[in-house]
């Protein structure tokens, strides 16, 4: 990938919580493509996500978005620079309607993504526009969390464990409904995911994190056929 094509360039030498170092030697770059980062629990995936989005700031190295250094900046500044964030656990507002989740964005809502365009993309949300966040199903809440981030017009959409807490059938339905967004929106998609099935369905490229560093980088198709790597690094057992 040439520097001209690079949207996100991550070079993290260390990230820690107090004296406990979690990340070291994280190296990858991506363009306007779909990339998933997978790994076992405790390998640093969510910490990496939090470093990129500015939630965790005790990190050293560089993170460039479209050539602009964003490492260490506040989350609001990173959002304005072009990163949309879908947090782990969805974090929708229980007492706000679907409509109000977009109204509260105010001037931050991108003119290319008016609420009408969001509802065209996700008709199910349009049907629930007057429903409170707490009354939505888990899949609908995740759809709302993704839509809320997309409505800001990001260059890069970062999603942390979008399949968490959802039944496998719901995950598949959610991915199907997001297919046109992932395919046609012209933005980069970075997914932090423990569910290998979901990661392979969303992403065209896959990175594996092991003990705080990025160890493998290959196409999703290639990794899907490498059952040895799946078992070694993710604990996914081969079929009997």
pLDDT at site 64: 97
pLDDT at site 3: 46
pLDDT at site 63: 97
Residue 14 placed within a domain? yes
Q: Are 10 and 28 in contact (CB under 8 A)?
A: yes
Residue 83 placed within a domain? yes
Residue 240 placed within a domain? no
Low-confidence ranges of the chain (pLDDT < 50): 2-4, 240
Residue 212 placed within a domain? yes
d(CA 176, CA 87): 20
In CATH, what number is assigned to the domain containing residue 110? Answer: 3.40.50.300
Q: Which of 144, 70, 41, 48 minimizes the C-alpha distance to 100?
A: 144
What are the φ/ψ torsions at residue 172 (nearest 5 degrees)?
Answer: -60, -40
pLDDT at site 57: 87
Q: What is the 3-state secondary structure (H, E, C) of 201-216?
A: HHCCEEEEEECCEEEE
d(CA 211, CA 25): 10
Residue 28 placed within a domain? yes
Dihedral sign computed on CA atoms, order 141, 145, 151, 155 = negative
Q: What are 87's two structure tokens?
A: 């947090």
220 CB contacts (<8 Å, ≥6 apart)? 36, 199, 200, 203, 204, 205, 206
Q: Which domain holds residue 226?
A: 3-234
d(CA 159, CA 171): 14
pLDDT at site 121: 85
Residue 239 placed within a domain? no
Residue 230 placed within a domain? yes
Q: What are 143's two structure tokens?
A: 């759809």
Does this model's pTM top 0.85? My answer is yes
Which residue do the tokens 């008016």 mark? Answer: 114
Residue 35 placed within a domain? yes
How many structural domains compose the chain?
Answer: 1
Q: What are 226's two structure tokens?
A: 């490498």
187 CB contacts (<8 Å, ≥6 apart)? 32, 154, 155, 156, 157
pLDDT at site 2: 44
């Amino acid at each position: 990938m040439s520097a001209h094509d690079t949207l996100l360039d991550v070079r993290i030498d260390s990230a820690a919580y107090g004296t406990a170092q979690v990340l070291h030697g994280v190296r990858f770059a991506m363009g306007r493509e779909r990339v998933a980062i997978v790994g076992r629990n405790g390998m640093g995936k969510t910490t990496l996500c939090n470093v990129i989005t500015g939630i965790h700031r005790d990190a050293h190295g560089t993170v460039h978005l479209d050539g602009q250094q964003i490492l260490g900046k506040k989350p609001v500044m990173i959002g304005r620079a072009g990163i949309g964030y879908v947090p782990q656990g969805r974090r929708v507002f229980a007492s706000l309607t679907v409509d109000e989740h977009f109204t509260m964005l105010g001037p931050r809502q991108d003119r290319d993504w008016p609420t009408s365009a969001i509802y065209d993309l996700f008709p199910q949300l349009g049907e629930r526009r007057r429903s409170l966040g707490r009354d939505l199903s888990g899949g609908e809440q995740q759809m709302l969390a993704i839509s809320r981030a997309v409505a800001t017009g990001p260059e890069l959409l970062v999603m942390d464990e979008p399949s968490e807490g959802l039944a496998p059938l719901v995950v598949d339905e959610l991915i199907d409904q997001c297919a046109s967004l992932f395919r046609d929106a012209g933005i980069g998609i970075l997914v932090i995911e423990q569910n290998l099935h979901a990661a392979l369905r969303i992403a065209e490229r896959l990175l594996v994190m092991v003990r705080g560093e990025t160890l493998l980088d290959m196409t999703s198709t290639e990794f899907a056929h490498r059952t040895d790597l799946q078992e070694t690094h993710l604990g996914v057992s081969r079929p009997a």
